[in-house]
Amino acid sequence: EVQLVESGGGLVQPGGSLRLSCAASGFTISDHYMDWVRQAPGKGLEWVGRTRDKVNSFITEFAASVEGRFTISRDDSKNSLYLQMNGLKAEDTAVYYCARGGRAGTEEWYFDLWGRGTLVTVSS
Amino acid sequence: DIQMTQSPSSLSAYIGDRVTITCRASQTTLSYLNWYQQKTGKAPKLLIYATSILRSGVPTRFSGSGSGSGSGTDFTLTISSLQPEDLATYYCQQSYTIPYTFGQGTKVEIK
């Protein structure tokens, strides 16, 4: 089955760190751009960042709101994606979704597969 | 950043009604405009991509279009005959340039 499963969410104090994981099955993540999207409680969707595919050297890009605090990495042996979040703020409280993005050489620039999400709460 | 503005923010309609949601971009996104449906407590699901291409498996009562002028800034999602299972919030998203941005969402309720 083609799916994404996030884990690693929880309660963390302001200034703390957390690493989210996204395990993929049914496809190879290195062939795809992989993105993180978040949704604060009762709010809309916000793009967080992405890692490009193997063809594009896995370059990472981020929203200004998290640039310098968040990083994205991959472990192709585990077919998994990670979001390392440092310097967390109350405004980072959200459900974090892993999503499959596009592929080089195609026009498939949309999120066609989403995980169920994992909740991150930043509070003292 | 490209700002995406949806209207209305919410609507209430009867089963069988035709429902239209609009999305306006602050600058051109060409045809890189996608629509997602999100039901309460669930992850978003892709409905339409590249302005008007219906994702496989999505009911044909859903359709997307861009303005006839070709400006790449005005887009529409239409539900031709609203069904009970269409109760959800709908988001547009531009994938023309980073940072990707979403509209604020349109909540569709059933009268």
Beta strands in chain B (DSSP E): 4-7, 10-13, 19-25, 33-38, 45-49, 53-54, 62-66, 74-79, 88-94, 101-102, 106-110
User: Are the C-beta atoms of residues A116 and A41 closer than 8 Å to each other?
Assistant: no
pLDDT at residue A102 greater than cutoff 90? no
Question: B70-97, pLDDT tens digit by residue?
Answer: 788 999 999 999 999 999 999 999 999 9
Q: Would you list which residues of chain A are within 8 Å, Cβ to Cβ, of chain B?
A: 35, 37, 44-47, 50, 61, 63-64, 97, 102, 107-112, 114-117
pLDDT at residue B32 greater than cutoff 70? yes
pLDDT at residue A54 greater than cutoff 90? no
A76-85, B35-44, B55-64, B70-79: which has the minimum mean pLDDT? B70-79
Contact of B45 with chain A, judged by CB distance below 8 Å, is answered with: yes
A43-52, A95-104, B100-109: which has the minimum mean pLDDT? A95-104
Q: What local confidence, expressed as pLDDT, does residue B68 receive?
A: 62
Q: What local confidence, expressed as pLDDT, does residue A55 receive?
A: 86
Environment class of residue A124 by beta-carbon count within 10 Å: exposed (0-12), middle (13-18) or buried (19+)? exposed
Confidence of residue A107 (pLDDT cuts 50, 70, 90): confident
Closest CA to A99 of A44, A47, A58: A47
